[in-house]
Amino acid sequence: MTCKELVAFLNDYREQRLPADVAADLEKHLDLCPPCRAYLRSYEETIKLGRDAIATADDEACREMPEHLVEAILRLRGSARED
């Protein structure tokens, strides 16, 4: 397996969707190839960073109370009832 193939298979590998022999080849390559190990780890970190950055943004937004929007939405309720 080449580095290019490993990177292409990476997500299927993480989600355990590769046939056993391909997964074994991939692990053998990982053992011998520091750049691919670095790639895999940084790919995992990327997912976590994305999740965490958005989750904290959500928590900040939860403390917001835009009154004009609340009012506008409550007015919409009237129109929702009419039709």
Partner 1 sequence: MQTSAEATHDGVLVDRLKAGDADAYETLVRDHIGRMLAVARRYLRSDEDAQDVVQEAFLAVFRGIDGFAGHARLSTWMHRIVVNAALMRIRKRSYTAEKPIDDLLPTFLDDGHHAIEPQAWNVDAAQAIESAETRELVRDAIDQLPDGHRTVLLLRDIDGFDTGETAAALGISENAAKIRLHRARQALRQILDPHFSEEQS
Residue type, 22: V
Q: How far is the CB of 54 from partner 1 (least distance, A)?
A: 5
Q: Which C-beta is closer to partner 1: that of 10 or that of 18?
A: 10
38: left (phi over 0), alpha (psi -120 to 50) or beta: alpha
Rounded to whole angstroms, the Cα distance separating 70 from 36 reads 50
16-55 binders of Zn ion (CB under 5 A): 33, 36
Q: How far is the CB of 18 from partner 1 (least distance, A)?
A: 13
List 16, 32, 48, 82, residue binding partner 1 (CB under 8 A)? 48
- When asked if residue 69 is in the footprint of partner 1 (CB under 8 A), the reply is yes
For the range 22-28, what are the long-range contacts, defined as Cβ-Cβ under 8 Å and sequence gap of 24 or more?
A: 25/1, 26/1, 28/1
Q: Map tokens 């053998």 to a residue.
A: 28
Residues that bind partner 1 (CB under 8 A): 2-5, 7, 10-11, 34-39, 41-43, 45-54, 56-58, 60-66, 69-70, 72-74, 76-77, 79-81
